[in-house]
Amino acid sequence: MRLSYPTNVKVVKVPCTGRVDVLMVLKALESGVDGVYLAGCEIGDCHFLKGNLRAVKRIAYAKELLKEVGIEPERVEMYHIATSDGPRFAQVAKEMTEKIRALGPNPVKDKNKAFKA
Amino acid sequence: MIVGNRKPLEEILEMVKPYKKILLLGCNECITVCAAGGEREVGVLASELKLSRAKNGGEIEIKEHTLERQCDFEYIDQIKPFVDDYEAIVSMACGAGIQYTAERFPGKVVLPAINTTFLGVTLEQGVWSERCQGCGECILHLTGGICPVARCAKSLFNGPCGGSSNGKCEVNPDTPCAWQLIVDRLKELGQLENYEKIIEVKNWSTSRDGGPRTRVREDLRIPKDS
Ligand code: SF4
Ligand code: SF4
């Protein structure tokens, strides 16, 4: 199955979405990326039992923090995609890219001189 | 442990408005355990502050540093070599730690990032609950190990008020009535006779009412002239 997905999506591999900490998400945005989404396993399918459930809560918390900062919380999202579901992976990548494109670039990247260099 | 809450970002942003270089100081003890002001929370607040400043076109330089404790001067003094590189310190310790940091550096602006709330316990991961108010004269031996000072909304000493219903406190239906808990526990312990004992009017001078308290152990003190 050869599927294509938007080239702007950079994949960061983690052993489980349960490994993802709120700070990782914030740091990514700080570094100027326009959005972050987690592609976790389906609910109930976590190899480590509760990793993806924890990730759901952490993404919800990250959204709260972004709201506090005044950055669109929609820049951060949680998706559940079965490991075998390639088409869904490609579809989510497209969906998220379109969503972020509609929001425009990360306001931090826009304003921070460091990113303009 | 001492339990506290991170202040809302808005409040912290307002406090740090005049500054471009801040030292964000966490504490490794109680406030780490209650997930309000440890190394992780220091990281999150630093990131939030940087994102917010960058978004509004401003700059901020933040040094993240977490001390073993902020209530012992030996630890606070560890920031001496670099504290002057920063315009202000934002402390994420409890109120005691924040004040002691300010005391050690009288010329520095020290700002609180934590609302210190209570002395309590961890009920489950992510949930903390108040247990003690440091009244200075413990009566837990009379009350089945349940504190009427901290856990009864009215700090009653001889049984519940008329608002106790179905084991809940009238102040908040989610809060158990402390006196219901006490009586249940005394029954379980076979100590109901304690409930009959009148606890006399408490001498609050050992508590906050007597003014700020100091504890001294002469045997531990190091003589000034040695
Ligand atoms: S400064 Fe406060 S939070 Fe830190 S160890 Fe001391 S009492 Fe606990
Ligand atoms: S009686 Fe006083 S010292 Fe004892 S737990 Fe209650 S508040 Fe704390």
Angstrom CA distances, B41 to A6, B46, B184, stand at: 34, 8, 39
Asked, for residue A4, whether it belongs to a domain, the answer is: no
Q: Given this model, what pLDDT does residue B225 score?
A: 76
The domain containing residue A38 runs over which residues?
17-116
Q: Given this model, what pLDDT does residue A109 score?
A: 84
Q: What is the ipTM of this complex?
A: 0.85
Mean per-residue pLDDT, B44-62? 95
Which residue lies with its CA nearest to atom 4 of ligand 2?
B138
**Interface residue A71 vs chain B (CB under 8 A):** yes
Using pLDDT thresholds of 50, 70 and 90, give the confidence band for residue B167: very high
Q: Are strands A36-40 and A76-80 parallel, antiparallel or unpaired?
A: parallel
**Interface residue B44 vs chain A (CB under 8 A):** yes
Which residue lies with its CA nearest to atom 5 of ligand 2?
B132
Q: What does the radius of gyration of chain A's CA atoms come to, in whole angstroms?
A: 15
Q: Given this model, what pLDDT does residue A110 score?
A: 64
Pocket probe for ligand 2: among B1, B131, B135, B204, the residue whose CB has the most ligand atoms within 8 Å is B135
Contact B55 A68 (CB under 8 A): no
Using pLDDT thresholds of 50, 70 and 90, give the confidence band for residue A61: very high
Q: Given this model, what pLDDT does residue A1 score?
A: 72
- Is B114 within 8 Å of B91 (Cβ atoms)? yes
Residue B62 half-sphere exposure toward CB, CA atoms < 13 A: 24
pLDDT in tens, B181-205: 999 999 999 999 999 999 999 999 9
Asked, for residue A7, whether it belongs to a domain, the answer is: no
Ligand lying closest to the C-alpha of residue B182 = 2
Pocket probe for ligand 1: among B29, B114, B116, the residue whose CB has the most ligand atoms within 8 Å is B29
Structure tokens at B74: 């030996």
Using pLDDT thresholds of 50, 70 and 90, give the confidence band for residue A113: low
Is B23 in a helix, a strand, or coil? strand
Q: Average per-residue pLDDT in chain B?
A: 96
Contacts of A106 (CB under 8 A, 6+ apart): A29, A32, A33, A34, A35, A71, A75
pLDDT at B79 over 60: yes
**Which positions in chain A touch B47 (Cβ < 8 Å)?**
23, 26-27, 30
pLDDT at A116 over 50: no
Mean per-residue pLDDT, B48-62? 95
Give me the residue from A30, A70, A111 closest to B47, CB to CB: A30
**Residue of B121, B147, B125 whose CA lies nearest to B134:** B147
Which residue lies with its CA nearest to atom 2 of ligand 1?
B94
Which residue lies with its CA nearest to atom 6 of ligand 1?
B71
Domains and CATH numbers, chain B: 2-118 (3.40.50.2300), 136-210 (no CATH)
Angle at A99 between CA A93 and CA A103, to 5 degrees: 140
Q: What's the pTM?
A: 0.91
Find residue B21's DSSP bridge partners. Answer: B61
Question: Ligand 2 pocket, B178 CB below 6 A?
Answer: no
What residue in A sits closest to B57 (Cα-Cα)? A111
Question: Ligand 2 pocket, B146 CB below 6 A?
Answer: no
pLDDT at A91 over 90: yes
Asked, for residue A41, whether it belongs to a domain, the answer is: yes
For residue B202, the CA-to-ligand 2 centroid distance in Å is 12
Asked, for residue A5, whether it belongs to a domain, the answer is: no
Looking at residue A36, its amino acid is V
Q: Kindly state the DSSP code that residue B225 receives in the 8-state scheme.
A: T
Least confident of A18-22, A56-60, A67-71, A112-116: A112-116
Asked, for residue A79, whether it belongs to a domain, the answer is: yes
Give me the residue from B8, B40, B51 closest to A108, CB to CB: B51
pLDDT in tens, A7-56: 999 999 999 999 999 999 999 999 999 999 999 999 999 999 999 999 99
Strand extents, DSSP E, A1-117: 36-40, 76-80
- Is B119 within 8 Å of B94 (Cβ atoms)? no
Q: Given this model, what pLDDT does residue A23 score?
A: 97
Structural domains counted in chain A: 1
pLDDT at B174 over 90: yes
Asked, for residue A52, whether it belongs to a domain, the answer is: yes
For residue B150, the CA-to-ligand 2 centroid distance in Å is 7
Percentage above 90 pLDDT, chain B: 97
Least confident of A45-49, A71-75, B18-22, B128-132: A45-49
Asked, for residue A3, whether it belongs to a domain, the answer is: no
pLDDT in tens, B97-120: 999 999 999 999 999 999 999 999
Place of tokens 């050992």: B206
Asked, for residue A83, whether it belongs to a domain, the answer is: yes
Q: Given this model, what pLDDT does residue B188 score?
A: 98
